[in-house]
Amino acid sequence: MADLIKRLASHMVSWKRAGSEAAAQEPAIHRFLREIGLPGQITEPRSRYLHLPELYVKPEEYEKIRTILIEHHAVVIAGDPHMGKTYTALHLLWEVFQNGWNVVHMRRDALAAALQQCEHIMNEFATQHLKPKCFLHLDDPFGEIEYQPLGPLQKDLSRLVREVRDRGDCGLIITSRIGIFNWSMGRLEGPMLLGKMRVEDDIRVHTSYSEDTRREVLKRYLKLYEPPWAADKALRGRVLAQVPRILDAPHNLELFARRAEGISEEGELLDFARSCREMVPALAEWMGRMSAEDQLVLVLTETFGYRDLAELRVFHREVLARAYAEGLVEHMAGTAWDSALGRLRDIVTVAQERYALSFVHPSYSEALRRALRAGPRLAAVWLLAMTAASTAPDPDWRADAGKSLALSYENLDGEGRKLLASLAADETEGVRRTVASPLAINYENLDEEGRNLLASLAADEAEWVRGDVASSLAYKCLKLDGEGRKLLACLVADEAEGVRRRVASLLADNSENLDGAGRKLLASLSADEAERVRGEVASLLAYNYQNLDGEGRKLVASLAADEAETVRGQVASWLARNWENLDRAGRKLLASLAVDEADGVRRWVVASLARTYGNLDGEGWKLLEQVRSSLKDH
């Protein structure tokens, strides 16, 4: 640990990297971009990532962030949107990279794929991605725009942080929007540990960048983008004096510098700066004015971005041909694909590891969704792409189209709804699943036709389709009306145990927010005939014990007395893991399980208390020794 502190704090030690002589001659920033999975940025002269060393301006919290990273080997950077959290994390990676460390940068979708590859086993994930002398950055792991939990990360993130801290030969940086992070904290095992890794003052508007600092940010972006008007030194000086008073966040300043190229009058420049205050509406308005060729690239990036570039090129040409036939484009050009990518190079990253196309920031996804609601031509281009994908022989294309259509249900016309209905009845179960979940998530925006479509999926012959509807409705439980709750109640009584388990998991995980009707459903699942359904309720309620009210704790107590040893074991395990947060009633309940008649339950108590030994007080150690002794006697 001391060795790591020395390297990070002093930057005195220079490690030599293995590699060929040619690699050694390549600029360090090029090697860095390859290592973090952004090789496409190397050839983009205006890339923010290529110019990271000279563009980056530190927020007020930078030294605090760095100090936490040095002391704990892990740090959580939370803050408002557009404040440069990811850019700050990348700059930290750049610092350690220059000192010989390996670096890994993972956005949420790449993290989900990596966890799936490791069969959702966090230990296996750590073995593959947290090697010695390696720093890992998890970018928006809890969701980019809204909270989107990843099961294994939710349960085992604290274990990963502990491993990083205890090993001392690796590092972890997590970036997240503050609202999403705060929501996730109540659903993570060991939130107190993560709290210690968090910067006391989040990166916030009005506090993280002073006016002078914002002026420096703008100055550097003007140097990179070189808008024609900036050649007038007097005008440039007046803009630098006024715009940092208008715009509070680095991303808004970057948007202004990049998009103000065609403006020359001072008044117009200041008006444009004011329009950049709200970044997502400004981006949406810009997207609505793009050519159909460029808009189609945005649609492909958002919906089909993970596909092979060669496939996307062919698909782009096919959809453009349809657009030409309908008069949306005036002529067909063989270079339309390459030209569009060139124009969008500042916001679309090409060939980034698993994803052929991806947006450089989640705000562009938000803006595209907004633009689809307001831009008739963009909506028409989007529908043409969905129509082409819906008839593709490859079910993955149809699945992607189904998901996109379901999420945008309220914006669909008759043709779009027809398309969605055909995909909801697709012969491939996977396609129907991708319609089911987002349609249920979008429940409050469904009309009668949409609800009937969802009801047909809730009665689908495939258990996984019904399960997707069930879990998504349970997730939205508080926003359901009477009809929606009736549908959820039917799924709570589904003949398939797997469907009931999925409802149980979501309701129990959100138990502290349930109303009377939701609690009734949860109580019925805690008495389900299937042991595994009761076990699901038991583990999640016990895990969240400190947030439960009296009614919830009564439910845990009843499950602690369940006839099935495995159900009692689940309660014992999760209460023990949560020892540091248990009050007197919780500790008393765990003590009763520590003398359970079944050896298996007592073993769960021992194993789980031992896992949290660093957080045990005298009472916890006493209980651990007591149970260990009872097991020795047997």
Instruction: CATH number of the domain at 141, please.
Output: 3.40.50.300
Asked if residue 196 has pLDDT above 90, the reply is no
Element (H, E) at 503: helix 497-509
Supply 535's token pair.
Answer: 């076990």
The C-alpha atoms of residue 203 and residue 257 are separated, in whole angstroms, by 22
CB crowding 336-369: b at 16 or more within 10 Å, else e: bbeebbeebbbbbbbebeebbbbbbbbbbbbbbb
The C-alpha atoms of residue 215 and residue 245 are separated, in whole angstroms, by 9
Asked if residue 22 has pLDDT above 70, the reply is no
In a domain, 314, yes or no: no
How many C-beta neighbours within 10 Å does residue 373 have?
Answer: 13
pLDDT at position 6, please? 47
Task: Answer yes or no: do 109 and 258 share one domain.
Answer: no
The C-alpha atoms of residue 302 and residue 403 are separated, in whole angstroms, by 11
In a domain, 142, yes or no: yes
pLDDT at position 509, please? 80
Task: Answer yes or no: do 144 and 235 share one domain.
Answer: no
Asked if residue 219 has pLDDT above 90, the reply is yes
Segment 216-228 shows an average pLDDT of 95
pLDDT at position 54, please? 95
Task: Answer yes or no: do 138 and 236 share one domain.
Answer: no
In a domain, 448, yes or no: no
Mean pLDDT, the chain, as a whole number? 85
Segment 318-327 shows an average pLDDT of 90
Asked if residue 145 has pLDDT above 90, the reply is no
Q: Of 259, 277, 295, which residue is a domain's last?
A: 277
pTM exceeding 0.85: no
Asked if residue 189 has pLDDT above 70, the reply is no
Contact between residue 243 and residue 270 where contact means Cβ atoms under 8 Å apart: yes
Segment 359-380 shows an average pLDDT of 88
Task: Answer yes or no: do 629 and 581 share one domain.
Answer: yes
Task: Answer yes or no: do 121 and 30 share one domain.
Answer: yes
In a domain, 244, yes or no: yes
Q: Of 257, 277, 297, which residue is a domain's last?
A: 277
Asked if residue 270 has pLDDT above 80, the reply is yes
Task: Answer yes or no: do 162 and 46 share one domain.
Answer: yes
Instruction: With H, G, I as helix, E, B as strand and everything else as coil, classify residue 95.
Output: helix
In a domain, 375, yes or no: no
Q: Of 196, 231, 257, which residue is a domain's last?
A: 196
- The residue ranking higher by pLDDT, 544 or 455, is 455
575: domain range? 531-634
Provide the residue type at 328 as one letter.
L
Q: Is 282 exposed, middle or buried (0-12, 13-18, 19+ CB in 10 A)?
A: buried
- pLDDT tens-digit readout, 471-516: 999 988 888 999 999 999 999 999 999 999 999 988 888 887 788 8
Task: Answer yes or no: do 25 and 152 share one domain.
Answer: yes
Supply 4's token pair.
Answer: 């790591």
Task: Answer yes or no: do 230 and 125 share one domain.
Answer: no
Asked if residue 23 has pLDDT above 80, the reply is no
Segment 9-32 shows an average pLDDT of 59
pLDDT at position 122, please? 64
**Helix, strand, coil shares of the chain as percentages rounded to 5?**
70, 5, 25
In a domain, 625, yes or no: yes
| Residue 176 β-bridge partners | 78
Indicate the range of 148-162, 164-178, 307-321, 516-530 predicted with least confidence.
148-162
The C-alpha atoms of residue 35 and residue 255 are separated, in whole angstroms, by 27
Q: What percent of the chain has pLDDT over 70?
A: 88
The C-alpha atoms of residue 442 and residue 379 are separated, in whole angstroms, by 19
Residue 416's pLDDT band (cuts 50, 70, 90): very high
Task: Answer yes or no: do 9 and 94 share one domain.
Answer: yes
Task: Answer yes or no: do 153 and 244 share one domain.
Answer: no
The C-alpha atoms of residue 608 and residue 605 are separated, in whole angstroms, by 5
Segment 539-544 shows an average pLDDT of 86
Task: Answer yes or no: do 187 and 50 share one domain.
Answer: yes
In a domain, 254, yes or no: yes
Residue 9's pLDDT band (cuts 50, 70, 90): very low
Asked if residue 397 has pLDDT above 70, the reply is yes
Task: Answer yes or no: do 255 and 181 share one domain.
Answer: no
Indicate the range of 34-43, 68-77, 148-157 predicted with least confidence.
148-157
Segment 149-160 shows an average pLDDT of 68
In a domain, 475, yes or no: no
Indicate the range of 72-81, 123-132, 386-395, 409-418 predicted with least confidence.
123-132
DSSP for 444-499 reads GG--HHHHHHHHHHHT-SSHHHHHHHHHHHHHTGGG--HHHHHHHHHHHT-S-HHH
How many domains in the chain?
Answer: 3
Asked if residue 618 has pLDDT above 70, the reply is yes
Residue 67's pLDDT band (cuts 50, 70, 90): confident
- The residue ranking higher by pLDDT, 352 or 80, is 80
